[in-house]
Chains A and B, each alone.
Chain A
């Protein structure tokens, strides 16, 4: 392993696991995510969801108030009431996720018991599940791991030989990958999460799992416990990662290497052409990835190997060494990988190093821009269709565009005589 791994602790600037609701609810339109938490939780998902894009979202909050905490109201009765109210209002809901938050975890509100009780009451009309997205236990994308883990026990058993893609993908990307696997010779490909929460894929000894996202360690463990085989591979970001990821599956399905090459070679060649203009922009540029989504290490690998960028520091909110091993091996010797965060110290390093581009959370982006450092939002990478060989060019463009923009509007916006002003 070539990377230089270190840990840091201190104040963090990372979303909590609740935030993953904002893409999960789009993936499964028949599911509803009910956060059992405080006004802060409600405010958080509202603010994180792009400040009200949707007229009536498929997520909400059961806000705990003084009565619940003082024991004046039985929190379980209250939760049942709120769930009934919600389901009466939204009869199309088929799966209800009760999502634990910091306050509900601290007061030890037993959501598993609540889910069990509601399931009994609802008699299969709606399936009620629970998981925790609390900020004291999870960061940003770990919420998806929690949600998928909650689904695993409900997956039907199957002996079928099949490939299961675990992790939320954009529909178009998923369709494309399924099509490519079919061309390679893997006919049965299913997904977790599915597009409808009721159409859960089966799992069993014939199931081979490819993780599409690097933040699903718990889900992977549970799938293993259900008899599935979870493959270890670089993640499907960039042409190289996507190819290795697909080849890993092909090996497991004993597909002939020449056939695999016949399908993938032209794709890789096309990706190389698509990447070319972005590589010209990005090559030699220095980048820092601040911890947020867990995608940082695979992205760093892509940006360094396929786009020629220099990795100044790669932050990650937490590191699952086993799962990330194939990625870490591909990083250049001595790459600084920081697990955890002390946001102030990390920003000090960013200022000292003055990289050309910083990938960071939404709270930090404009302040860094004001300091003259070009940024890219981490959250955009979770929302955009970036997986697969065909998306490599698009993925690179997400990084080249902010740099190109800076060139477009400078020096016009910075007359030589003036010092950059910071708009506070």
Chain B
């Protein structure tokens, strides 16, 4: 048993719903009690979709358990098949149905339905949402393409040259309730068009059964979201010989690497690194003088594997931040996140306990948090600005405008989204230059005011983390020390207070005067 207050991922059948709802002409019969229909609101409320997910629940009740729930499954399958006439039917069960062992997939297989029936076995007590989504896509791809599997996988990603057509690739992995998938697909399509590459199939988002059947007609697969697409892409590689790209094109350098990887696999001349510099504003904005303030800003990163890895690279290589924490809830990607953390001199945090993440965040004392909706919440409590980079998300993370994370425009979006929660550079410079003017004493905030117009002195009221043991007397601020502290701009005052107290404690000083404050400043700058 595991105690959870919030969870990062839903159960695996919610992952399956994401695949079914992303596609056209696919229906999912879910053997589940009535409460499980809550999952519909993830699609209709969080993503504000105008359609219910294509799911029919068997809605078994306690009184059915003594009787024939198998008959209920068959009746529901029959009704759903007749009503929705899908091109393919997914049949699976939720956690409670798994316990009563009706094997709905086998029941449906035996009904002689006219459409392909794909049975999903998603162990609800050991697996989670992203795994469920990956497994569902994989089972769907495998079942629908089995008849086409050649005896010997022979697939030449450069074949397009010989037959005189443009190269063609599939985009695998974008789904509903993924992070900005719809926008990423548009952006990647645009990027590929510029490079003379056609997009064959996008799956599962918007795909039909006939599209899945066309997957092998492309030259290769782009594995856009490894959490969901990798198992399908590997299967296609093993059985059809179709290679797939490994780089997730989030950030300027990753987008460049992605293009090089793709061009090389297709036998095309790779683009120059200059393209990213010309096409995205991130490089220039990051180089411009008012971005100097970003140097060494301490950032804590937590999210799904792909987005956390991408964020770490962008932060350290493209924005000049210092990554002070890196972690993921995607256990499937723990290894690569660990490696990336190690390269940054960190130990990765692999956890699905948001309280552990919150503790690590508080410990790292970052100036910016890049995380999920949960970290946004924790960061708010700690008074740290935050941008959301990954699922799970809030309705506000599903913007109406196009807001990709991938490709050149994605890099622009990321620059804005991650830098805006910090005080903007030009503004910070001006406040720094004019800090002695009366306008810049307490109460004047950034126009963004992430502290929400709250009393700026509230920061000082937060319990200082230095007092670990209430029995023990902490160092006391002298009037002179307090006066000096007040001269420090309010937005860094809390941090200076904590650092100084920690320093004083380390040094065994009982009082904090202005001198102690400057000693501490020298100590931390050194």
Question: A: which residues have CB within 8 A of B?
Answer: 10-19, 36, 38-40, 42-44, 46-48, 51-52, 55-57, 59-66, 68-69, 73, 75, 78-79, 81-82, 85-86, 102-103, 105-107, 134-137, 139, 344, 361-367, 369-370, 422-424
- Do the beta carbons of A86 and B3 come within 8 Å of each other? yes
Q: How far is the CA of A134 from the CA of B36 in the complex (A)?
A: 10
The answer to the question of B56 belonging to the interface, with a C-beta cut-off of 8 Å to chain A, is yes
Most buried by A among B7, B9, B58, B377: B7
The answer to the question of B473 belonging to the interface, with a C-beta cut-off of 8 Å to chain A, is no
Tell whether A366 pairs with B44 under 8 Å between CB atoms, given A11-B76, A38-B96, A424-B49: yes
What does the 1/0 interface line of B1-15 toward A look like (CB < 8 Å)?
A: 111111101110110
- Do the beta carbons of B7 and A363 come within 8 Å of each other? no
**Shortest Cβ gap from A247 to chain B (Å):** 37
| Closest residue of B by beta carbon distance from A53 | B377
Which residues of the other chain, A, contact B142 by a CB distance below 8 angstroms?
none
- Do the beta carbons of A366 and B3 come within 8 Å of each other? no
- Do the beta carbons of A364 and B2 come within 8 Å of each other? no
Which residues of the other chain, A, contact B59 by a CB distance below 8 angstroms?
10-12
- Do the beta carbons of A135 and B3 come within 8 Å of each other? no
Which among B124-132, B148-156, B292-300 touches the partner chain? B124-132
| Closest residue of A by beta carbon distance from B94 | A40
| Closest residue of B by beta carbon distance from A65 | B125
Tell whether A40 pairs with B45 under 8 Å between CB atoms, given A13-B40, A79-B1: no
| Closest residue of A by beta carbon distance from B12 | A39
Question: B: which residues have CB within 8 A of A?
Answer: 1-7, 9-11, 13-14, 33-42, 44-46, 48-52, 56-62, 64-65, 76, 79, 83, 94-96, 99-100, 123-126, 128, 373-374, 377-378, 380-381, 394-395
| Closest residue of B by beta carbon distance from A38 | B95
**Shortest Cβ gap from B3 to chain A (Å):** 5
Which residues of the other chain, B, contact A81 by a CB distance below 8 angstroms?
1
User: CB < 8 Å: which of A15, A44, A61, A135 contacts B4?
Assistant: A61
- Do the beta carbons of B33 and A102 come within 8 Å of each other? yes
User: CB < 8 Å: which of A11, A344, A362 contacts B41?
Assistant: A362
- Do the beta carbons of B3 and A82 come within 8 Å of each other? yes
Q: A363-B45, A424-B51 are in contact. List 16 more A-B contacts (CB 8 A).
A: A15-B37, A38-B11, A43-B9, A51-B46, A52-B6, A52-B373, A63-B1, A102-B96, A106-B100, A136-B62, A344-B56, A362-B44, A363-B44, A365-B45, A366-B49, A423-B50
- Do the beta carbons of A82 and B1 come within 8 Å of each other? yes
Q: How far is the CA of A43 from the CA of B15 in the complex (A)?
A: 12
- Do the beta carbons of A11 and B36 come within 8 Å of each other? no
7 inter-chain pairs at a CB distance below 8 angstroms, sorted by A residue, are A38-B124, A52-B377, A52-B394, A62-B2, A75-B1, A103-B96, A366-B50
- Do the beta carbons of A139 and B45 come within 8 Å of each other? no
Q: How far is the CA of A48 from the CA of B45 in the complex (A)?
A: 11
- Do the beta carbons of B3 and A367 come within 8 Å of each other? no
Q: How far is the CA of A251 from the CA of B453 in the complex (A)?
A: 54
Which residues of the other chain, A, contact B13 by a CB distance below 8 angstroms?
40
- Do the beta carbons of B10 and A40 come within 8 Å of each other? yes
- Do the beta carbons of B34 and A135 come within 8 Å of each other? yes
Q: How far is the CA of A85 from the CA of B1 in the complex (A)?
A: 12
Which residues of the other chain, A, contact B14 by a CB distance below 8 angstroms?
40, 43
User: CB < 8 Å: which of A107, A361, A366 contacts B48?
Assistant: A366
**Shortest Cβ gap from B493 to chain A (Å):** 23
**Shortest Cβ gap from A129 to chain B (Å):** 18
**Shortest Cβ gap from B323 to chain A (Å):** 25
User: CB < 8 Å: which of A16, A56, A60, A424 contacts B34?
Assistant: A16
Which residues of the other chain, B, contact A85 by a CB distance below 8 angstroms?
3
Q: How far is the CA of A44 from the CA of B94 in the complex (A)?
A: 13
| Closest residue of A by beta carbon distance from B380 | A55
Q: How far is the CA of A66 from the CA of B12 in the complex (A)?
A: 14
Q: How far is the CA of A304 from the CA of B388 in the complex (A)?
A: 46
Which residues of the other chain, B, contact A361 by a CB distance below 8 angstroms?
41
| Closest residue of A by beta carbon distance from B53 | A363
User: CB < 8 Å: which of B3, B10, B52, B381 contacts A55?
Assistant: B381
User: CB < 8 Å: which of B34, B58, B99 contacts A103?
Assistant: B99
- Do the beta carbons of B3 and A60 come within 8 Å of each other? yes
Which residues of the other chain, B, contact A363 by a CB distance below 8 angstroms?
37-38, 40-41, 44-45, 52
Most buried by A among B42, B99, B100: B99
Q: How far is the CA of A362 from the CA of B13 in the complex (A)?
A: 20
- Do the beta carbons of B60 and A136 come within 8 Å of each other? yes
Which residues of the other chain, B, contact A344 by a CB distance below 8 angstroms?
56, 79, 83
- Do the beta carbons of B395 and A12 come within 8 Å of each other? no
Which residues of the other chain, A, contact B51 by a CB distance below 8 angstroms?
367, 370, 422, 424
Which residues of the other chain, B, contact A12 by a CB distance below 8 angstroms?
34, 37, 57, 59
- Do the beta carbons of B45 and A136 come within 8 Å of each other? no
Which residues of the other chain, B, contact A36 by a CB distance below 8 angstroms?
1
Which residues of the other chain, B, contact A367 by a CB distance below 8 angstroms?
44, 49-52
Which residues of the other chain, B, contact A19 by a CB distance below 8 angstroms?
35, 38
- Do the beta carbons of A66 and B33 come within 8 Å of each other? no
Tell whether A47 pairs with B125 under 8 Å between CB atoms, given A56-B5, A68-B1, A137-B61: no
**Shortest Cβ gap from B2 to chain A (Å):** 5
Q: How far is the CA of A36 from the CA of B4 in the complex (A)?
A: 11
- Do the beta carbons of A39 and B38 come within 8 Å of each other? no
Which residues of the other chain, A, contact B52 by a CB distance below 8 angstroms?
363-364, 367
Which residues of the other chain, B, contact A422 by a CB distance below 8 angstroms?
50-51
Tell whether A103 pairs with B37 under 8 Å between CB atoms, given A79-B1, A366-B48: no
Q: How far is the CA of A102 from the CA of B95 in the complex (A)?
A: 9
Which residues of the other chain, A, contact B36 by a CB distance below 8 angstroms?
16, 40, 44, 135
- Do the beta carbons of A44 and B38 come within 8 Å of each other? yes
Q: How far is the CA of A39 from the CA of B1 in the complex (A)?
A: 11
Q: How far is the CA of A55 from the CA of B100 in the complex (A)?
A: 36
| Closest residue of B by beta carbon distance from A58 | B5
- Do the beta carbons of A63 and B50 come within 8 Å of each other? no
Which residues of the other chain, B, contact A136 by a CB distance below 8 angstroms?
33-34, 60-62, 64-65, 96
- Do the beta carbons of B61 and A47 come within 8 Å of each other? no
Q: How far is the CA of A68 from the CA of B56 in the complex (A)?
A: 29
- Do the beta carbons of B50 and A369 come within 8 Å of each other? yes
